[in-house]
Structure 1
Amino acid sequence: MAGSVAVVTDSTAYLPASMVAELGVTVVPLQVVVGGVSRPEDIGSDTEITFGADEVVAALRANRPVTTSRPSPQVFVDTYRRLQARGHTAVVSVHLSGDISGTVAAARLAASEVAAGGLKVDVIDSRSLGMGLGFGVQAAAEAAAGGADGPDVARIAARRSLNSSIYIYLDTLEFLRRGGRIGAAKAWLGSALTIKPVLALADGRLEPLERVRTTQRALTRLLELAVSEVDGVDPSKFEDDGGVRMAVHHLSAPERATELAERLHEHLPSLAEVPVVEVGPVIGAHVGPGAVGVVVARGLDS
């Protein structure tokens, strides 16, 4: 283990627990506050009392206040020092877009503090979220396991994340409004009851893309947008390690998400398995129940 590179991320990567275990990634949870009670976002650990997606969905539907916050810098300091104690001499810490959360800023403060103890920490702002972040973490962990050094692992994490696109359908803009992250979509609020908004993650920020009239049309539009991202890509690039990957996220909408994943496979038969992953409370608090998103990672060499 001595001399190896450790990979750290946060809970908004929403990596399946099996993948986290297989990759040996360390996950730091963000905090969720429901009705004044603060707990970590659930990351599949049974050692803490956490908030999961179901509890936050219930709170949102009952109009109970739900807010989120970053981990403190001290949480990252403690995490990095534990990894150093296990024999790691470098850490690559890959996180949620800095325009959405202060998590990456907290990680950078912690990296500065532990540097005096001889631990080199590269902190990467993925400019993404969900599996857009997660695919970058996966690539970083695989590179680290293959013997890559810290700077190379950091470059791979950044390149994979920055080569990802995310498109999200929302049942309503209300939850983005409540969380103060509505941005340019604010102009759509007056017609929010009559339209179905589709947003894109652009340079680390959720931005309005277009409006459609029905949920089914929104799912079709997500499909079209995802397929267009890889139009003209050699089918062999869907099979390479580090090649094209896709994932579907949702909050309390498994049927919609499964339908979209199946349609992606129909249109792109060379595509590897498309994981369907429910987002947790942190992202869920802002997108709201019924949301569905598609993540497209175009590949390390794109």
Structure 2
Amino acid sequence: MKTAVMTDTNSGITKQEADVLGIFLMQMPVIIDGETHYEGLDLTHDSFFAALTGNQNVSTSQPSPGDVMDMWDEILNSGYDEIIYIPMSSGLSASCEAAMGLALDYDGKVQVANNHRISVTMRISVMEAKHYADLGASAAKIKELLETNAFNSSIYIAVDTLEFLKRGGRVTAAGAALGSVLNIKPVLTIQGERLDAFAKVRGMKKAKLRMIEALKNDFETRFQGIPKERLRLGAAGAGLSAEQEKEWTDMLSASFPEMDVYYDSLSFSISCHIGPGGYGVGISVIGEYDL
């Protein structure tokens, strides 16, 4: 059985990485002033944030059915027997449910895993899928393994500006204005299904410390007793400078010296809703790899 692994750019995996890893990558669409662009294809990190912070109208969308099926057909016609597709969590986008509907026409050759993850935790699921595929697992078996382990993850995101939450209707204009005056930084969390409010603190330094405190609590409660070799810790950020990225990963490494911390930029789909200057962190539990 030759099973292809496919995901989208919400995993934090770039096209260059995907090519090296042997993973197929769907670039997520971004609409800027009514024109559709694709993350990492014809829309760079710098040009995306320039549009987001400028006077342009920026929104995100799920991939078109045609684009999804064209990629599936191309993969299946290139020597693969099956595909395991890992899109962003169904709780955050309709793209997962839409893909499941499209897969019904493929007689089981395409399996869509709803792994309830995004960003740094979604990356780990993709890497797990690739490991299973290399061991000869079928797409259906990989889907089962990923979904069994789906909720064994945790994400926290600190938002630097309330402007983009206001645009998305998550806070009122008055609330955003007051929050800006008081230097309020919301900390959000993703525990599987959706993005929820977690805490409000003053200043980004306190927001980072609050996320680290939340992670330590997760280690001591939800993930207690799990061997460290089965835990993965990922840092993330939206529009951060190289210096800011290093400062954040160094802070996490100092707080969790037993962990190797990796870094991914937050996808455009997430950054569009939280704005630049946001910080994120996620912890994932990997499976036992028993087939």
CA contact (8 A) 1:137 1:157 kept: no
Residue 269 in structure 1 maps to residue 267 in structure 2: no
Residue 237 in structure 1 maps to residue 227 in structure 2: yes
CA contact (8 A) 1:168 1:291 kept: yes
For residue 124 of structure 1, what is the aligned residue in structure 2? 113
User: What does residue range 62-81 of structure 1 map to in structure 2 within 5 Å?
Assistant: 62-81=54-73
- TM norm structure 1: 0.85
In structure 2, what is the Cα distance between the partners aligned to 1:226 and 1:257?
18
Residue 11 in structure 1 maps to residue 9 in structure 2: yes
CA contact (8 A) 1:81 1:114 kept: no
Q: Secondary structure at the match of 1:128?
A: coil
For residue 23 of structure 1, what is the aligned residue in structure 2? 21
Residue 296 in structure 1 maps to residue 275 in structure 2: no
Residue 96 in structure 1 maps to residue 96 in structure 2: no
Percentage of pairs with the same residue? 27
| Greater Cα shift, 78-87 or 14-23 | 14-23
- TM norm structure 2: 0.88
In structure 2, what is the Cα distance between the partners aligned to 1:22 and 1:161?
25
Residue 171 in structure 1 maps to residue 169 in structure 2: no
Instruction: Give the direction of change, closer, same or farther, for the CA distance of 1:235–1:204 in structure 2 (3 Å limit).
Output: closer
- Letter matched to residue 99 of structure 2: A
Structure 1: where are the runs of 5+ without partners?
43-47
Residue 79 of structure 1 and its aligned partner are, at CA, apart by 1.3
CA contact (8 A) 1:7 1:140 kept: yes
Residue 51 of structure 1 and its aligned partner are, at CA, apart by 1.4
For residue 203 of structure 2, what is the aligned residue in structure 1? 214
In structure 2, what is the Cα distance between the partners aligned to 1:23 and 1:153?
17
Q: What is the RMSD of the two structures over their aligned residues, measured on CA atoms?
A: 2.3
In structure 2, what is the Cα distance between the partners aligned to 1:105 and 1:234?
33
For residue 198 of structure 1, what is the aligned residue in structure 2? 187
Instruction: Give the direction of change, closer, same or farther, for the CA distance of 1:19–1:161 in structure 2 (3 Å limit).
Output: farther
2:49 to 57, 60, 68: 57
Instruction: Give the direction of change, closer, same or farther, for the CA distance of 1:299–1:114 in structure 2 (3 Å limit).
Output: closer
In structure 2, what is the Cα distance between the partners aligned to 1:60 and 1:202?
27
1:138-166 CA-to-partner distances (Å, cap 9, x unmatched) read: 10111111112222211232244421111
For residue 36 of structure 2, what is the aligned residue in structure 1? 38
In structure 1, what is the Cα distance between the partners aligned to 2:216 and 2:98?
36
CA contact (8 A) 2:238 2:276 kept: yes
In structure 2, what is the Cα distance between the partners aligned to 1:102 and 1:135?
21
1:32-78 CA-to-partner distances (Å, cap 9, x unmatched) read: 11122211111xxxxx5x11221121122223210111111121211
In structure 2, what is the Cα distance between the partners aligned to 1:212 and 1:257?
21
Residue 113 of structure 1 and its aligned partner are, at CA, apart by 2.3
In structure 1, what is the Cα distance between the partners aligned to 2:202 and 2:97?
39
Q: How many residues align?
A: 283
- Letter matched to residue 210 of structure 1: A
1:178-235 CA-to-partner distances (Å, cap 9, x unmatched) read: 235x3xx669546421211000013321111110011111111112222322237689
